[in-house]
Every structure is written in structure tokens, then in C-alpha cells.
Amino acid sequence: MAGNWELCLILLGFIYSTRPLVYELVRPTWDEGCVGFQKNLKVGEFEKDPSVCGILLCMDIEGRGFIYFCQQPAAFQQCDNDTVSLIADYPDCCWQCTEAVECEEEDEDVATEVATEVATEVATY
């Protein structure tokens, strides 16, 4: 039987193979926390980020929060491509293989707007 430290190393290996990412951002505020994407979040609450395979976690009443997300499925899943589901809940979307779908031109504009907004939030923090 493996010792505790060996199990920790194995678990860390699985975590790092999923390529999770975290970035900090500042959201608008309300009396008890952060304004989320779909609802107001109290400190410590989280919700799904609709633009990535991830979640927004509200950290304080000044609007600071973290986005936890993954850009591609876990390496040990041996998926045919690196796309992640925006429908599945986090972290399940980090463990599932998905098929890419070609976007319509209108959808590409929306995707570009969302990506620009996220990049701007990260850059201005």
C-alpha cells in the first residue's frame, strides 16, 4: 500500500495533467459581494463562467474574485482534440472529450467580444 506522501504525489500528477488555470479579476460589487455573470454572489459563493470551462469565485465585498478554468481536457483522457465543453459543469468539463463545432459568423463575433472582455479584465487588474 502506498504511503500518504506517495498518494499526494499521484494526486498532484493528476491535477497538473488537467492544465487548470486561475486568474484574479475585479467584478462590480453589491452589498454582500460580487456581481456575477448571471446573479449576485456573496463572499465565498461561485457560479459557472459561461465563456470558459470554469467558475467565478467571489473573494470579498470589494469585488475581487478568481476564475478557475481549464483550456483543454486532461492529458490522460487521450482526446482527439483540445476542445472543452462550455455546457458541462466545472471541473467535469476538464475531464471530458468533446467535438469542436464550427461557429457561424455571428457566433464568431460574440466569441470575439467575450474573449476581448475577458482579456481586458485580466489586463486591467
The per-residue pLDDT for range 23-40, each reduced to its tens digit, is 899 999 999 999 999 999
CA atoms within 13 A on the CB side of 6: 3
Give, in order, the Cα–Cα distances in Å from 3 to each of 12, 13, 14, 75, 116: 14, 16, 17, 25, 46
- pLDDT tens-digit series, residues 36-87: 999 999 999 999 999 889 999 999 999 999 999 988 877 777 888 888 888 8
Average pLDDT, integer, range 83-104: 84
pLDDT confidence bin for 94, thresholds 50/70/90? confident
Compare 125 and 29 and report the one with higher pLDDT. Answer: 29
Q: Measured between alpha carbons, how far is 89 from 116 in angstroms, rounded to an integer?
A: 23
Return the H-helix or E-strand segment holding 23. Answer: strand 20-26
- 3-class SS of residue 55: strand
Is the overall model pTM greater than 0.75, yes or no? no
| pLDDT tens digits along 8-26 | 445 445 444 444 588 899 9
